[in-house]
Amino acid sequence: MFGLFSQKPQWNVSSIPDLNGRVAIVTGGNTGLGFVSCRELARKGARVYMLSRTESRALAAIEKIKKELGPEIDPKVEYIHFDLQRLKTGQEAAEEFMKRETRLDIIINNAGIMATPYELGPDGIEGQACNGTGHFALTVPLLPLLKQTAALPDSHVRIVNLSSFGYNFARFGTPDFSSLEGLNQKSWSTWGRYGMSKLSNILFTNELQKRLDQDGIYCVSVHPGFVGTELARGPLQSWPFLAPFVRIAGIFSLTPEEGALTQLYAATSLEVEEKNLKAGLLFPIAKPTAKAALAEDKNGKLGIQFWDLCEALVKQKA
């Protein structure tokens, strides 16, 4: 269900094509899936921007990547500050990136939290809901540069949004993205709010694809599987008594190296275009998977609600 019983991958990091000359952004890149994604993109020659909240942790992670890959590869990884819970930093990070680069080939919106206790962030947005709103604030200002890059010869521009099987938890209530009050529903359980945030990641992918379809950009949602990362901190904050169970579950979880494969596939594999995975949802490892009706959002109502709300919040808060 969560990727516990995924088959051995037929696609692995050695399948990543040469990325020399390409430029990538990975949010939450200092640990877990984001760290592996930064390292493997850099290993293949991409210039990678690690967007993280805490500079000291990001710089330490960059040094670790450089040490692991060594001078023979000379990985090009840089840091830009980005706090998922502060919409203004999304715009600032985009502006800083565009000062440094004239192209952008890959965005992996990887950062996120899971099952944390109810708390409003600095912008008055529920913490887990920022999994969606924060990435909107970062990605949308970069769309002109993504389009510009997609117009270049031999370009393969991708936007990858990390979702989760947990988006299905949103089906146990009535998702409402029409207002901040709807986004911040306190009546939802911890897992229900997580499901809402992961549903918003898929809806964002859907809406991005509609707007970018004629530009040759592929937007993909990813469920990485049940992976042993720091994401477990959220449930432990909500229910400390779960600690023994989390440790046991860790025995059966995917490693970060395995968990990152699906997002790396979405970001780099030419099969994404060959299989026409526009607005697709991938489960581990790199398997196209049908979306539930709520996430398919055929009439586009929820996706438009989310987009319009994010636009209004960014204008107000950032």
Q: What is the pLDDT of residues 166-194, one digit of tens each?
A: 999 998 888 999 999 999 998 778 889 99
- Spot the catalytic one: 79, 194, 218, 265: 194
Residue 7, domain member (yes or no):
no
Catalytic status, residue 198 = yes
Please give the pLDDT value at position 187.
Answer: 74
The one catalytic residue among 198, 218, 265, 291: 198
pTM: 0.91
Q: Which residues pair with 23 in a beta bridge?
A: 47
Domain that holds residue 54: 18-317
- Position 31 confidence tier, pLDDT thresholds 50, 70, 90: very high
Q: How far apart are CA 74 and CA 41, in angstroms?
A: 12
* Domain annotation covers residue 110: yes
pLDDT of residue 186: 86
DSSP 8-state assignment for residue 255 = P
pLDDT number for residue 6: 45
The candidate with the shortest Cα–Cα distance to 110, out of 188, 53, 42, is: 53
**Is residue 165 one of the residues assigned to a domain?**
yes
Q: How many structural domains is the chain composed of?
A: 1
pLDDT level of residue 9 (50, 70, 90 thresholds): low
Query: Is 147 an annotated catalytic residue?
Result: no
Position 172 in a domain: yes
Q: What is the CATH number of the domain that holds 248?
A: 3.40.50.720
> Starting at the edge strand that comes first in sequence, how are the strands of the sheet with 218-222 ordered?
76-81, 47-52, 23-27, 106-109, 158-162, 218-222, 280-283, 287-288
Is 201 inside any structural domain? Answer: yes
Is 9 within the bounds of a domain? no
Helices 190-212 and 143-150 cross at an angle (nearest 10°) of 50
| 8 A C-beta contact, residue 78 and residue 102 | no
Does residue 104 belong to any structural domain of this protein?
yes
Whether residue 3 lies inside any domain: the answer is no
